[in-house]
């Protein structure tokens, strides 16, 4: 009896072009997908750009364009890499798609309705010029564990601590 399989990979972060690590993972997944199809199984092989996060904001700011423009440029450059390695996703999409927004909001509402979301007040750095709260990647300072200078707010590249 044929199996119905849904296959995906880690979604690549849209802050840069594919690198060899992405392609290696896709080749491995593509081989497995082709094998399953040769066995008579039905496979839906999907991927998407992960379009959210501070590294994209930082890269876009460096490039002098909006994060949306930056992500669109990265997305436009994906096809030659995939075609060049004969990797054939059935669908390639984006985490910034309307259906993903609706689904994420529905999951949040369901969790909230079932008492699984709690709120608490936290302190966070704020940039009054940009009028925005700053993600950890925008904060640099001394590592509280090894005291290395000039480390990002989410991890220390000297001692490997993650905050
Ligand atoms: Zn450290």
Taking the centre of ligand 1 as the mean of its atom positions, its distance from the CA of residue 105, in whole angstroms, is: 37
Taking the centre of ligand 1 as the mean of its atom positions, its distance from the CA of residue 150, in whole angstroms, is: 10
Tell whether 94 and 157 lie within a shared domain.
no
Torsion of CA 112, 115, 117, 122, to 10 degrees: 130
Strand, helix or coil at 4?
A: strand
Taking the centre of ligand 1 as the mean of its atom positions, its distance from the CA of residue 142, in whole angstroms, is: 8
Tell whether 103 and 127 lie within a shared domain.
no
CATH number at residue 26: 3.40.50.620
Tell whether 124 and 158 lie within a shared domain.
yes
Tell whether 139 and 107 lie within a shared domain.
no
- The mean pLDDT value for 114-140 works out to 90
Domains identified in the chain, total number: 2
Domain extent, residue 81, equals 4-113
Tell whether 127 and 80 lie within a shared domain.
no
Tell whether 146 and 71 lie within a shared domain.
no
Tell whether 81 and 141 lie within a shared domain.
no
Taking the centre of ligand 1 as the mean of its atom positions, its distance from the CA of residue 151, in whole angstroms, is: 8
* pLDDT computed for residue 130 by the predictor: 86
Helices (H) and strands (E) in the chain, counts: 5, 7
Residue 54 has pLDDT above 90, yes or no: no
Q: pLDDT tier at 50 (50, 70, 90 boundaries)? A: very high
Taking the centre of ligand 1 as the mean of its atom positions, its distance from the CA of residue 30, in whole angstroms, is: 39
Tell whether 130 and 94 lie within a shared domain.
no
Determine the Cα–Cα distance for residues 49 and 12; give it in Å rounded to an integer.
5
Torsion of CA 54, 55, 58, 61, to 10 degrees: -100
Q: pLDDT tier at 119 (50, 70, 90 boundaries)? A: very high
Taking the centre of ligand 1 as the mean of its atom positions, its distance from the CA of residue 11, in whole angstroms, is: 29
Tell whether 36 and 109 lie within a shared domain.
yes
Write the CB contacts of 134 (distance below 8 Å, at least 6 apart in sequence). 124, 125, 126, 127
Tell whether 132 and 52 lie within a shared domain.
no
Taking the centre of ligand 1 as the mean of its atom positions, its distance from the CA of residue 146, in whole angstroms, is: 4
The residue from 72, 94, 113 where one domain ends is 113
* pLDDT computed for residue 84 by the predictor: 94
Tell whether 89 and 153 lie within a shared domain.
no
Strands of the sheet containing 91-94, edge to edge, are: 4-8, 42-49, 91-94
Write the CB contacts of 93 (distance below 8 Å, at least 6 apart in sequence). 46, 47, 48, 49, 100
Tell me which residues have their CB within 5 A of the ion that is ligand 1.
143, 145-146, 148, 156, 158-159, 161
Taking the centre of ligand 1 as the mean of its atom positions, its distance from the CA of residue 139, in whole angstroms, is: 15
CATH number at residue 163: 2.20.28.20
* pLDDT computed for residue 113 by the predictor: 98
Tell whether 79 and 51 lie within a shared domain.
yes
């Amino acid at each position: 009896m044929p199996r119905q399989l849904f296959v995906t990979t880690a979604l690549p972060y849209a802050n840069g072009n594919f690198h060899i690590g992405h392609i290696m993972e896709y080749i491995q997944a593509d081989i497995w997908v082709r094998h399953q199809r040769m066995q008579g199984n039905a496979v839906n092989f999907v991927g998407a750009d992960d379009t959210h996060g501070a590294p994209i904001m930082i890269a876009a700011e460096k490039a002098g364009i909006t994060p949306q423009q930056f992500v669109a440029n990265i997305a436009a450059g994906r096809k030659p890499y995939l075609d060049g390695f004969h990797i054939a996703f059935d669908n390639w999409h984006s985490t910034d798609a309307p259906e993903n927004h609706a689904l994420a909001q529905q999951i949040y509402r369901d969790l909230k309705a079932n008492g699984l979301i709690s709120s608490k007040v936290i302190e966070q750095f704020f940039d009054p010029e940009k009028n925005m709260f700053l993600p950890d990647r925008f904060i640099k300072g001394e590592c509280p564990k090894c005291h290395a200078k000039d480390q990002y707010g989410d991890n220390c590249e000297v001692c490997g601590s993650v905050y």
